[in-house]
Structure 1
Amino acid sequence: MGSTPIKVMVVDDHLFLREGLRAIIDAQSDLKLVSEAESGEEALEMYATDRPDVVLMDLQMPGMGGVATIEAMKKHWPTVRIIVLTTYAGDSQALRALRAGASGYLLKNSLRRELLDAIRSVHEGGKHLSAEVAAGIAFHVIDDTLTERETSVLKLAADGNSNKQIAGKLGVVEVTVKGYMKAIFAKLRASDRTHAVTIAARRGIIEL
């Protein structure tokens, strides 16, 4: 490793987590925490000034969420290296973050085991996924993904709307909604709408 420490930024709205990460990073001679942000908007402002080498990014934040922040950072600074930190192992959520430009995806319950290796690996240009997340992506990679309209239908169903109510909200006939639901069940391998909502929430396709 070189003599210049790897500069790290933490983006998370929870003070307790930021303090924990600071303690882990400060104990390493080759890492240096240069900035902490509570939101995506604040992270963009701080990145422009501090130019960290690696950004640790939460996904669920008030205001600009993690994926939108990743997209904005990659647009303005294409070489930025970002590791997502989340409690959520859903494969769809992970794929959105990775497609937006993240280089790593870690579950918060694995940070003590994986964080330092992930930072160093991503800084060197590598990728790092928690094993549970990688397994979920691999398991579902051959699945048909839900279309934007199917996802909208499922979100409305999750909110308790009947097929008739969904049809009214989307401006289509009820039989069309039934067709969407049938396709959703097949793609998610779900037995009914409650099962479909549960699977979609677990995989990060929809948020409850």
Structure 2
Amino acid sequence: MSTLNIMGGLDLRQDVRPATTGLPGPRPALDDSLSSGLLPSTVLLVDPDSTTREAMRKTLLVTGIGRVREASCLEDIRALVSGEAPDDLALVSLTLGSSVRSIITTLRQSGWNRVIALSPTSDIGPVIDAVGAGVHGVLIGRRANPAAANVPAAIHDLSARELEVVQLVAEGRSNKWIGEQLSLSALTVKSHLARIGRKLETGDRAHIVALALRAGVIS
């Protein structure tokens, strides 16, 4: 049976057993195309942060993936599916926030049979949304960013909503503007920032943004 190895590509080697009731005979030798290990495959990485994509791309190539393509937003995905055949696997970061569901739905409707969500936190809300949109699995773990140093570990525990707020703060938006975009009141946005500040032990908006950028949880 074919098996999917998330970090190593698609292993299409078959477990061939002779049709007898006795002990299994010797396994047939693999042909030349399989003898060197995993078959080359193509993976699509969907993540808004270029540093994270680069770290993941290098890891995937080292582990045997033949080709890695990258996308950073829903517009990239729409352009890609309009002229390209589906890849073997799509890895979609939940840090994309509200566009995640549309990205997953677009990929599935375009023929992607294997879509995995990557969550940087254990926040259950975005995971449930991703599963509802049709992902086949979720990997939870911190984002790989070699530039992250002296950053509080709590930065990786921010919820998807909190990350959205920090991203918009990084873009110079006011609490009122952020609230209008996220269908929240300005007071709720202020409460989000206060909670983020407590987690990161800082009340300074600029410092919060700097920590998030260094950790790679926003771009």
TM-score by length of structure 2 reads 0.46
Normalized per residue, which structure has more helix?
Answer: 1
Larger Rg: 2
Normalised by the size of structure 1, how large is the TM-score?
Answer: 0.48
